[in-house]
Chain A
């Protein structure tokens, strides 16, 4: 009897995983512990491990497919063993006529239903555990993984000579093959070029370059990635369901900047390079110790107070953002926080974070200071009760000791969930934070 491997739940918010790539193929021998496939969840790309030893006898979900949690991915058994594709988990597919196959059609169970239309991702709400999911397997709506470009040798050579990315060309030859004429046409009229994948994400399309007259970009519909769908869903929930209010405080950043440069200079040889954000993470944890009421979550029927401060920080990544968590921030030095935050940020950008590295935060910091933003209001990342928005350090006239001098200030904005944090509590927290940041020696004890 073959063992069926299902799509596991790889993150709290995941309901569907994209089977990015099979690392084994049908017929391959598989040992327990071998990696079978790469699966993209709403937050990260992870390897799927086999807990069985045998032969990979059947793959049910092709590369590129979106597969619901619990739907069959593959079967491992003895070579040649017949395997029946299990029925999809209670599938409700109003938009997918293909899924409603008549029961009398064939005695052989069909593989999990495949819908051709890019069905919307429907992630389970964080609170509900086993929400039934829509279509089990969804065909990949777009060339997410960068499929092979069909191009004739000549067209490829011309494209290389003309520095045209073949993936941006449309092929008119058989089976969509790009031929010479397609490259020459695009070379003569760049409007025929599709936007490059990297340009879609960073918005720096050549088409919109200085002085260009054409459309700023082609009209197009980009199906939501897992991550984009989750961001859309969760932030809509947060902004519509959480009663936000905002508190703002200006912090004198001079002492902090001075301490930071002293420490960085003193420990340069050790490779220490503390960022302003590292201090803010540290200060946030310490402020949460002083005002623990902010380190809490609304549960619907009560307030869950958290004993540990797990401070997360928002990292912009391709096609979205993610919030890696510094676990037990309240126990860590600014040096430890810095040493942890750097690799987390790096791996976040590579989408290599494990679920436990971006889940379970109790408080969040979002910093747009490095982009020159002076102040902004962030949307709370549920189930946190507050989020801190950090602006840039501004050089400006300030009043000190009764005189006007050149100072450096920073604006902090706290978004609070009024169900948990009242105005006075939020104000106490910001005051504590300001106190810590303006006396940065306190952050080193």
Chain B
């Protein structure tokens, strides 16, 4: 299988869907002429032309509103946020209009829009550009939330998201754009709502999403080498819909749980997972559930401190040992 980057995988997904369905359009700041602020849409304008690849003003509320309106009318827009942090400029459009229109219309109107862009810290872009709003988005019924951690999943999930008839918040990670992974030439889809066991283990389940999963895999190797601990690593891939079965099966198998994520701890995805696990697998827990998240503060601008704010393989390693104590 060819090795391609996470960035290329996203681009391939969009190109294939643009090819497949004439209703698919790409819109966002700098997506066309500049080839994308992070070069995810590079070459798409040349290939598909300005009617399909559209530059927008710096006006998230306006262009996301336009995208949502076009989706209601049958288009399948893929909206790029230069930074996912800017979603909040269009909060009303996304969470009031897009999220509720199918319900409000009695099922007559769908809103098949994808809102994608990087949602991560660790790049020294400051508190206003480093939000990780998975839990905020997933809070809203009607919204789907997807967070790929590998090139393979980035492509397969984005294609599924574009074909999905509901609004999908597709959260990428600039730190992963350059990471390579095996991606098959032939077409494939990764369904929304299916978690993936990235590494099999019997002693502890490390469950999370996004870049934290890549760290967890490193921690799992450390646990194996230093303590002969077999950690199972489960990548949620999709926050909503959530694959509870895979999560609970892993918990029932290992009986000990460490939750990891890059987001802040308060009301986060891991907080929700902890609730679900204790509710549905209480009798399988042999120790309290622990979490590794970002330090609960605005994203720190100082690069050395920001590094400390985020999860690290060492922090996950230490927390796993604490769960296993």
Please report A residues at the B interface, Cβ cutoff 8 Å.
Answer: 152-157, 173-174, 177, 179-180
Which residue of A154, A173, A174, A177 is within 8 Å of B284 (Cβ)?
A: A154
Are B287 and A157 within 8 A (Cβ)?
no
Q: B250 interface residue, CB < 8 Å from A? A: no
In the complex, residue of chain B having the shortest beta-carbon distance to the beta carbon of A152: B286
Minimum C-beta distance from A379 to chain B (A): 53
Minimum C-beta distance from A174 to chain B (A): 6
Residue-wise, chain B 311-325 has the 8 Å CB interface mask toward A (1 for contact) of 000000000000001
Instruction: Write out the residue numbers on chain A whose beta carbons fall within 8 Å of the beta carbon of B282.
Output: 153
Give Cα distance in the complex from A157 to B252, angstroms: 13
Residue-wise, chain B 269-288 has the 8 Å CB interface mask toward A (1 for contact) of 00000000000001111110
Q: B238 interface residue, CB < 8 Å from A? A: no
Give Cα distance in the complex from A144 to B149, angstroms: 55
A152-B286, A156-B283, A179-B287 known; 10 other A-B pairs, CB under 8 Å? A152-B285, A153-B283, A154-B283, A154-B285, A155-B286, A157-B283, A173-B287, A173-B325, A174-B287, A180-B286
Instruction: Write out the residue numbers on chain A whose beta carbons fall within 8 Å of the beta carbon of B283.
Output: 153-154, 156-157
Minimum C-beta distance from A160 to chain B (A): 9
Q: Chain B: interface residue count, which band?
A: under 10
Q: B255 interface residue, CB < 8 Å from A? A: yes
Minimum C-beta distance from A169 to chain B (A): 13
Give Cα distance in the complex from A177 to B286, angstroms: 10
In the complex, residue of chain B having the shortest beta-carbon distance to the beta carbon of A180: B286
Residue-wise, chain B 282-313 has the 8 Å CB interface mask toward A (1 for contact) of 11111100000000000000000000000000
Which residue of A157, A174, A180 is within 8 Å of B325 (Cβ)?
A: A174
Instruction: Write out the residue numbers on chain A whose beta carbons fall within 8 Å of the beta carbon of B287.
Output: 152, 173-174, 177, 179
Residue-wise, chain B 185-214 has the 8 Å CB interface mask toward A (1 for contact) of 000000000000000000000000000000
Instruction: Write out the residue numbers on chain B whose beta carbons fall within 8 Å of the beta carbon of A155.
Output: 286
Known: A179-B287, A180-B286. A154 touches B325 (CB 8 A): no
In the complex, residue of chain A having the shortest beta-carbon distance to the beta carbon of B284: A154
Residue-wise, chain B 117-161 has the 8 Å CB interface mask toward A (1 for contact) of 000000000000000000000000000000000000000000000
Instruction: Write out the residue numbers on chain B whose beta carbons fall within 8 Å of the beta carbon of A156.
Output: 283
Instruction: Write out the residue numbers on chain B whose beta carbons fall within 8 Å of the beta carbon of A152.
Output: 285-287
Instruction: Write out the residue numbers on chain B whose beta carbons fall within 8 Å of the beta carbon of A153.
Output: 282-286
In the complex, residue of chain A having the shortest beta-carbon distance to the beta carbon of B255: A154
Instruction: Write out the residue numbers on chain A whose beta carbons fall within 8 Å of the beta carbon of B284.
Output: 153-154, 157
Minimum C-beta distance from B47 to chain A (A): 55
Q: Is the interface of B mostly helix, strand, loop or mixed?
A: loop
Instruction: Write out the residue numbers on chain B whose beta carbons fall within 8 Å of the beta carbon of A177.
Output: 287
Q: Is the interface of A mostly helix, strand, loop or mixed?
A: helix
Minimum C-beta distance from A438 to chain B (A): 67
Give 16 A-B contacts (CB < 8 Å), ordered by A residue: A152-B286, A152-B287, A153-B282, A153-B284, A153-B285, A154-B283, A154-B284, A157-B283, A157-B284, A173-B287, A173-B325, A174-B287, A174-B325, A177-B287, A179-B287, A180-B255
Interface set, chain B 250-272, CB cutoff 8 A to A: 255
Give Cα distance in the complex from A177 to B324, angstroms: 12
Give Cα distance in the complex from A152 to B256, angstroms: 11
Minimum C-beta distance from A311 to chain B (A): 56
Minimum C-beta distance from A171 to chain B (A): 11
Give Cα distance in the complex from A121 to B284, angstroms: 45
Give Cα distance in the complex from A173 to B285, angstroms: 13
Instruction: Write out the residue numbers on chain A whose beta carbons fall within 8 Å of the beta carbon of B255.
Output: 154, 180
Instruction: Write out the residue numbers on chain B whose beta carbons fall within 8 Å of the beta carbon of A154.
Output: 255, 283-286
Minimum C-beta distance from A148 to chain B (A): 16
Give Cα distance in the complex from A195 to B279, angstroms: 34
In the complex, residue of chain A having the shortest beta-carbon distance to the beta carbon of B287: A152
Give Cα distance in the complex from A229 to B124, angstroms: 72
Give Cα distance in the complex from A440 to B286, angstroms: 68
Minimum C-beta distance from B242 to chain A (A): 22
Minimum C-beta distance from A121 to chain B (A): 39
Instruction: Write out the residue numbers on chain A whose beta carbons fall within 8 Å of the beta carbon of B325.
Output: 173-174
Minimum C-beta distance from B61 to chain A (A): 47
Instruction: Write out the residue numbers on chain B whose beta carbons fall within 8 Å of the beta carbon of A173.
Output: 287, 325
| Centre residue among B285, B286, B325 by max chain A CB count within 10 A | B286
Q: Which 4 pairs from chain A and chain B are nearest by CB?
A: A157-B283, A154-B286, A152-B286, A180-B286
In the complex, residue of chain A having the shortest beta-carbon distance to the beta carbon of B252: A154
Give Cα distance in the complex from A250 to B282, angstroms: 67
In the complex, residue of chain A having the shortest beta-carbon distance to the beta carbon of B282: A153
Minimum C-beta distance from B224 to chain A (A): 20
Minimum C-beta distance from B151 to chain A (A): 37
| Centre residue among A153, A174, A177 by max chain B CB count within 10 A | A153
Instruction: Write out the residue numbers on chain B whose beta carbons fall within 8 Å of the beta carbon of A179.
Output: 286-287
Instruction: Write out the residue numbers on chain B whose beta carbons fall within 8 Å of the beta carbon of A174.
Output: 287, 325
Give Cα distance in the complex from A153 to B282, angstroms: 6
Minimum C-beta distance from B253 to chain A (A): 12
Give Cα distance in the complex from A210 to B99, angstroms: 71
Give Cα distance in the complex from A177 to B283, angstroms: 15
Give Cα distance in the complex from A155 to B282, angstroms: 11
Give Cα distance in the complex from A155 to B283, angstroms: 8
| Centre residue among A152, A155, A174, A177 by max chain B CB count within 10 A | A152
Instruction: Write out the residue numbers on chain A whose beta carbons fall within 8 Å of the beta carbon of B286.
Output: 152-155, 179-180
Minimum C-beta distance from A81 to chain B (A): 39
Give Cα distance in the complex from A52 to B85, angstroms: 64
Give Cα distance in the complex from A155 to B325, angstroms: 15
Minimum C-beta distance from A151 to chain B (A): 10
Minimum C-beta distance from A378 to chain B (A): 54
Minimum C-beta distance from B20 to chain A (A): 48
Minimum C-beta distance from A413 to chain B (A): 59
